[in-house]
Amino acid sequence: MQKKEKAVKTLRIFRKVHRLTGIILFLFFMFIAITGLILGWKKHTGGLILPETMKGKSKSLTEWLPIDSVKSISIKFFRENISATESDKIDRLDIRPDKGIAKIVFADNYWEIQVDGATGEVLSAEIRWSDFIENLHDASYLDKVFGIESGTIKLIYTSVMGVALLLFTITGFWLWAGPKRLRKLKTESV
């Protein structure tokens, strides 16, 4: 009988931990699930979340303008057509030789400008909503808001949520397996 009582007690503890974790983290799990789902579909939204990648004139890098020129073209376009006052600090240059373009992604405002590597023509200038959603998804948006360059909020948030999800998975499994174990113990004791 002691095995059965111990199993029942363990099951009650897991049920309580699972319920409390679920209540406390419900909104966070929903938020992570929704933003994760959106990010999973970002390339399949017809440019709504992530701008479609354009195609340039030449795939041969030998025919391309110098990268510094591509960078200057994108900054000039940004200043003249998007904002004369917002930051034009560049986060990354994404070179796509197979498409003949360079994507210039700005650090502080989620803009992306696509420039033909050979001609320097601006092919696209759009907001990368996927980057904004990703920053919400992993809480790095809060690091940006509060000016924390080390990413401390993101690290704490992802650690807490990862451990919580692991705990939720373990207790959920036990809530599924525990009653089966109890039934087995009942049949053994009869």
Q: What is the pLDDT of residue 187?
A: 75
Q: Are residues 97 and 153 in the same domain?
A: no
> Which residues are paired to 39 by β-bridges?
none
Q: Are residues 96 and 115 in the same domain?
A: yes
User: Binning pLDDT at 50, 70 and 90, where does residue 8 land?
Assistant: confident
* More confidently predicted of 5 and 54: 54
Give the C-alpha separation, 108 to 189, whole Å: 66
Give the C-alpha separation, 134 to 6, whole Å: 44
Q: Are residues 39 and 55 in the same domain?
A: no
Instruction: Enter the tokens of residue 49.
Output: 């979340």
DSSP string, 67-112: HHHHHHHHHHHIIIII-SSS---EEEEEEETTTTEEEEEETTT-EE
User: Binning pLDDT at 50, 70 and 90, where does residue 190 land?
Assistant: low
DSSP string, 115-133: EETTT--EEEEEE-HHHHH
Q: Residue 21 is part of which domain span?
A: 1-49+128-190
Structural domain total, the chain: 2
Q: Are residues 93 and 55 in the same domain?
A: yes
Residue pLDDT, tens place only, 18-48: 888 888 889 999 999 999 999 999 999 999 9
List the CATH number of the domain containing 58: 3.10.450
Residue pLDDT, tens place only, 127-169: 999 999 999 999 999 999 999 999 999 999 999 999 999 988 8
Give the C-alpha separation, 144 to 132, whole Å: 11
Q: What is the pLDDT of residue 48?
A: 96
Q: What is the pTM of this model?
A: 0.82
Q: Are residues 121 and 138 in the same domain?
A: no
Segment 65-76 shows an average pLDDT of: 97
Amino acid at 71: K
Q: What is the pLDDT of residue 1?
A: 57
Q: Are residues 155 and 182 in the same domain?
A: yes
Instruction: Enter the tokens of residue 35.
Output: 């933003």
User: Binning pLDDT at 50, 70 and 90, where does residue 6 land?
Assistant: confident
Asked whether residue 189 carries a pLDDT value surpassing 80, the answer given is no
Q: What is the pLDDT of residue 95?
A: 97
Residue pLDDT, tens place only, 95-125: 999 999 999 999 999 999 999 999 999 999 9
CA-CA-CA-CA torsion sign (180, 181, 182, 186):
positive
Distance between alpha carbon 45 and the CA centroid of its chain, in Å? 16
Q: Are residues 169 and 136 in the same domain?
A: yes
Q: Are residues 95 and 188 in the same domain?
A: no
To which residue do tokens 């990368």 refer?
Answer: 128
Q: Are residues 40 and 132 in the same domain?
A: yes
Last-in-domain residue among 95, 127, 159 = 127
Residue pLDDT, tens place only, 49-68: 999 999 999 999 999 999 99
Q: Are residues 100 and 161 in the same domain?
A: no
